[in-house]
Amino acid sequence: MAAHGRPAGPEVIWSRPERSGRGPRPAHSRAEIAAAAVRVADAEGIDAASMRRVAAEIGCGTMSLYNYVPRKEDLYELMVDAVCAEYDLSAPPSGDWRADMLGLARQARAIMHRHPWLPRLLSPAHGFSPNALRYLEHCLAVLESLDADTGTRLEVISMVNGIVTAYVDTELSMAERDRTSPFPPGAEQAARSAYVARVLAEGRHPRLAAAYERAPWPLDMDAQFERAVNRVLASFERESGGGGAGDGSGRSGEGTQVS
Q: What is the pLDDT of residue 215?
A: 80
Contact 139, 104 (CB under 8 A): yes
Contact 243, 147 (CB under 8 A): yes
How many residues does the structure list for the chain? 259
Q: Is the peptide bond before 218 cis (omega within 30 degrees of 0)?
A: yes
The number of angstroms, rounded, from the C-alpha of 88 to the middle of its chain's C-alpha atoms is 14
| Domain spans, the chain | 3-84, 97-248
- 204-230 pLDDT tens trace: 999 999 998 888 777 788 999 999 999
Q: Which CATH number is 97-248 given?
A: 1.10.357.10
Query: Range with the lowest mean pLDDT among 4-18, 87-101, 105-119, 129-143?
Result: 4-18
- Give phi and psi for 250, each to the nearest 5: 65, 20
Q: What pTM was estimated for this model as a whole? A: 0.83
Q: What is the pLDDT of residue 238?
A: 92
- 129-167 pLDDT tens trace: 999 999 999 999 999 999 999 999 999 999 999 999 999
**Going along 52-188, which residue ranges are E strands?**
none
The helix/strand count (H/E) of the chain reads as 11, 0
3-84 has CATH 3.40.50.620 classification: no
Tell whether the model's pLDDT for residue 11 goes beyond 90: no
